[in-house]
């Protein structure tokens, strides 16, 4: 493994991941970016062997960056990391082109295992997620799978306790747009309040 691109908007997480990667892959070139726009630009300008990206970043999220990355580098392995439960976002990330999805609470050894597997052209999901995917009924799907990518992004930010105005600012859209999406999210998930959304996310 020669070149690894790491995207996360939290500098302390980038620092920790970079150190872990350097310990495991001492000869690798590791570059850090702090947002989705820079991630996409780096992928368009340079060849990388692996991308590790946070799901939740300001502006272009990791989920939104995936199709753009895959349009120019279809075979580039991308591992998505997130604080959110796998059953909420992993399937959507995999459908968007991710090679793997891992919760940030995972052990460092599991991260290395995931990196090694997707670097071999395979996909990585945890045993728990694989079991959940197999248990879905053939004629149904979780309610959150009904959300569009934009609705999912707003749902995620509401669950983190962010206000409508904060969400609008981070996504560069009008407050009324966020409010409209919020109403649709509540309807699709069959809940009534932001507190209900937070409980659903957990």
Convert the pLDDT of each residue in 8-21 to its tens digit: 999 999 999 999 99
pLDDT score at 135: 56
pLDDT score at 139: 47
Split at pLDDT 50, 70, 90, the class of 126 is: confident
Output phi, psi for 100, to 5 deg.
-165, 165
Domain over 3-135 is classified CATH 3.30.413.10: no
- Does 151 score more than 50 pLDDT? yes
Complete edge-to-edge strand list for the sheet that includes strand 100-103:
29-33, 3-7, 50-54, 78-82, 100-103
143-201 matches 3-135 in CATH topology: no
Phi-psi region of 148 (alpha: psi -120 to 50; beta: other; left: phi over 0): beta
> Which residue ranges make up each domain of the chain?
3-135, 143-201
Class level of CATH domain 143-201 = mainly alpha
- Does 75 score more than 80 pLDDT? yes
Q: How many CB atoms lie within 10 A of CB 137?
A: 6
Convert the pLDDT of each residue in 102-123 to its tens digit: 999 899 999 999 999 999 999 9
- Does 161 score more than 70 pLDDT? yes
pLDDT score at 153: 84
- Give whole-number Cα distances, 103 to 30, 45, 111, 177, 190, in Å: 21, 29, 9, 30, 26
What is the pTM (predicted TM-score) of this model? 0.70
């Amino acid at each position: 493994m020669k070149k690894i691109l790491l995207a996360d908007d939290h500098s302390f997480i980038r620092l920790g991941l970079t150190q872990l990667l350097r310990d495991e892959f001492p000869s690798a070139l590791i570059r850090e970016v702090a947002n989705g726009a820079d991630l996409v630009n780096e992928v368009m300008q340079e060849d990388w062997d692996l991308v590790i990206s946070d799901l939740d970043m300001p502006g272009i999220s990791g989920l939104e960056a995936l199709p753009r990355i895959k349009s120019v580098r279809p075979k580039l392995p991308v591992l998505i990391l997130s604080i959110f439960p796998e059953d909420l976002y992993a399937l959507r990330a995999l459908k968007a082109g991710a090679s793997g999805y891992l919760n940030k609470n995972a052990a460092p050894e599991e991260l290395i295992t995931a990196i090694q597997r997707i670097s071999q052209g395979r996909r990585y999901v945890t045993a728990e997620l694989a079991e959940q995917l197999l248990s879905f009924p053939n004629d149904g799907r979780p309610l959150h799978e009904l959300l569009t990518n934009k609705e999912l992004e707003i749902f995620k930010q509401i669950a983190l306790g962010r206000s409508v105005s904060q969400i609008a600012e981070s996504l560069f859209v009008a407050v009324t747009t966020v409010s409209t999406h919020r109403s649709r999210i509540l309807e699709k998930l069959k809940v009534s309040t932001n507190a209900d959304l937070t409980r659903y996310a957990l």
